[in-house]
Chain A
Amino acid sequence: MADRELTFEIFRYNPQKPEVKPYLQTYKLKETTGMTIFVALNQIREEQDPSLMFDFVCRAAICGSCAMVINGRPRLACKTLTKTLPARIKLFPLPVFKLIGDLSVDTGTWFRHMSLKTEAWVHTSKTFDPKAQEERMDNETALKIYEAERCIECGCCIAGCATANIRDEFLGAAGINRVARFMLDPRDERTPAEYFEVVGSEEGAFGCMGLMACDDNCPMELPLQMQLAFVRRKMASIGIGYKPGKGIKLA
């Protein structure tokens, strides 16, 4: 394996120079042991083409910066080993997100917009009392919140989502998972009806066509299908099961 010559076909386009149409550029590289797409792209930039644009930050599958379409699938480039791929490797930027150039896309703006739309912060009437002991929480609850909080906003679920590709305002699996994270959190005082405002629409939980590419593509292996089912069930129960005076219990 280590003796292979790899052929990279990489999408090139600079939106600031629209007169140059998008094209695929080919680079050849000798494969080394343990080579990842991170290693390969940096080698190409340093030795063959210093103008090539791509994003890496942590290079350890923690920060979510480096998602791109690798041989047809959205994946994190840093943790994709070349030995798992054929000798011909095609790299494209993630769809849906605004292109910055070549393989670099603007996921940051998309996710900040999503956070604003879902008001992704703990809604509480409490203020911090520096003298008081912290409020208690069951450790199991803390772990459950953490499970939903593990999303790294890489955008793989959005890029692979048919709905997100045709509907601009669709929250996608990352958005629905984000709402689930706050629904699970006893510190968040939002009522079921308020959550319904956020995700009880075609832009939210009901826009999903059920293809579940998000679940397949998630590099964090988050249970996105389950989170969608959880949120949909809550939304449905708000719609049909609401009994005045009794309120609705979440989770």
Chain B
Amino acid sequence: MSTYKTLITDVLVVGAGLAGERVAVEAASHGLDVIILSLVPPRRSHSTAAQGGMQASLGNCAMGEGDNPDVHFADTVKGSDWGCDQDVARLFVETAPLAVREMAIWGVPWNRVVAGKRTLPDGRVIEEKKEKEGLITARDFGGTAKWRTCYTADGTGHTLQYTMDSMVIKMGITVHDRTEAISLIHDGEQCTGVVARCLRTGDLRVYIAKSTVICTGGYGRLYSASTNAVINEGSGMFIALNTGVVPLGNMEAVQFHPTGMVPVWILITEGARGDGGYLLDKNLYRFMPDYEPKKKELASRDVVSRRMIQHMRKGYGVDSPYGPHLWLDIRHLGAKHINTNLREIANIARNFAGIDPVKDLIPVRPTQHYSMGGVRTNIDGAAYGLKGLFAAGEAACWDLHGFNRLGGNSLAETITAGRIIGKKVAEYTLGATLSYNYELVDKAVKEQENRIKALVNGWNGKENVYELRKLMEQNLMDYVGIFRNGKDLQKAVDNLRELYHRSLKIGLRSNGEGANPELAQALRLPGMIKLALCISYGALMRTESRGSHAREDYPKRDDANWLKRTLAYWPEGADLPELKYEPVKITELPPGDRGYGESSAESQGGKNG
């Protein structure tokens, strides 16, 4: 028998970003015992990197006047290219304003309406009303009919996370940071917790819980050029996938953000364009109005990213050692605006590219940014396939975003879904009893111990984890990017399949003792490659273009055949996911024209263009 420490709790939250902490706060406020596990101290979570803001239809600022949940709903559904579940979108847009106001009571210093006239960078004059002064204001973001993105200067994610964590601390919620969940304990029907590895000592621990909630964020780091933090490796998704009974939804829906800074791929927030920034080509020509006369730089992210690639393919990109790129120009916004409202951008440009955006252009290219797909759940956040398992935030496919997420809807989803799903988790947990099978737990730990021993001793082979990882990243980057086609996708699937087999033969080069980082990577890589296969195989099979999924060989959205969600399962012993499909819930808005993008009547290359 092995020795390991076992901890028991009511609710186990895996991941301490905004979604995870919001779920934890909700569950704890129902009197439940909660433990949060996190790879890093909560305030280091990737949520803190969100600069721009969160959407909620408060309608306080002049350009947000007349906004309401109905308008937000329509924007979200169009943004998703009708791929989202509309009952979820409706619940979300109705709850988001509450979630924003609640964060204000807890301490977020939201920017407020300042009364008076001002001139926008494009020359329009707007007037903020006296009676709205001091209420929470909003800025413009892509794909929205109104200014709806609430923000705190350049650090919205930071202030939200610090405030949320202050509630976690105030409520005395237990956080085990530097702890990684490496497998779910389950019997095929019920989830009873996780096996975790301590990243301080390397020891294995068992957490037994009535309910387990996966809030581990996205998988951006599967791609070699991603805006994501280095911890975003999709671990929560693949431990769910590894059960064989929990499916991942729409993994082929991958968002590329138009403005990752070349060559470090750090995000330049959409707020830069929302506040009036332009995209320029090598001739310093502002090209977006030619493609998208209505929304210009502020069409949805999938559309802007494709237009940028299209324009560079025509030869208008700026050559660089890192491939062609375009320019982001915010110089006309002025030093004061750049150094306060867009300070984070200014600092990033100065620190990491040695340029000053007050007088210089910023080199940008579309960069992997967000995972629309994730652990498939119902509207309560309950995962398909296992009782007692939930998911929220980017790790989940709830499904609010469909095939393209709007800027500002991810931060909004973290705290809004956290609030809603936290309540559902609490209700479920209050009605649940703790029962678990000791043999099942011991078997789950043994399985992980054996994996570790095999890696340390090289029993299965001597493959190098870092080499395999690079190959995985490159395959996704080269063949499963912004524009996709059958030939390349098939190549990606074949290559990744081979890589998956090789990843089962990894052997460490170091001794694997203690909190060894090579071991941590080696434990994750097979799961990461499984996710890469779910993405590329799902993309290969989906023979249409929808939102961020753009097939050059199938350029049209095909509602007759593809108005459905992909569900990827990983049967035991398989080397490819098994794909199933389910219908998308359309409750209010039937599929139609997005009003921007290639197939819109209003854009170049559209029906009339």
Chain A interface residues (CB < 8 Å from chain B): 14, 16-17, 33-34, 36, 45-47, 49-53, 55-65, 79, 81, 100-101, 104, 106-109, 111-112, 115-116, 119-122, 124, 126-128, 130, 132-139, 141-143, 145-146, 149-150, 152-153, 185, 187
Contacts and interface: CB of A to CB of B under 8 A. Distances in A.
B342 interface: no
A91 to B, nearest CB: 16
Contact of B46 (A47, A58, A128): A58
Contacts of B49: 58, 60, 62-63
B270 to A, nearest CB: 16
Contacts of B162: 149
Contacts of A47: 466
B508 interface: yes
Contact of A53 (B100, B340, B515): B515
Interface of B: 40-46, 48-49, 98, 100-102, 104-107, 109-114, 133-137, 152-153, 155, 158-159, 162, 165-167, 169-170, 175, 177-178, 200-201, 229-231, 263-264, 266-267, 321, 340, 344, 347-348, 351-354, 465-466, 508-511, 513-518
B155 A108 contact: no
B263 A122 contact: no
A185 B105 CA distance: 11
14 contacts: A34-B352, A50-B466, A51-B511, A106-B200, A112-B169, A120-B169, A126-B105, A130-B98, A134-B136, A135-B104, A135-B105, A142-B112, A142-B152, A146-B155
Contact of B107 (A55, A58, A153, A187): A187
Main secondary structure, interface of A, reads: loop
Nearest to A108: B41
B134 A136 contact: yes
A150 B509 contact: no
Contacts of B137: 139
Contact of A62 (B106, B231, B344, B509): B344
A65 to B, nearest CB: 5
A146 B264 contact: no
Contacts of B133: 136
A115 B42 CA distance: 13
B513 A63 contact: no
Contacts of B266: 59-60
Contact of A150 (B102, B158, B517): B158
A211 B111 CA distance: 35
Contacts of A46: 466
A121 B340 CA distance: 25
Contacts of A108: 40-44, 177-178
B513 A16 contact: yes
B158 A111 contact: no
Contact of A100 (B48, B107, B351, B515): B515
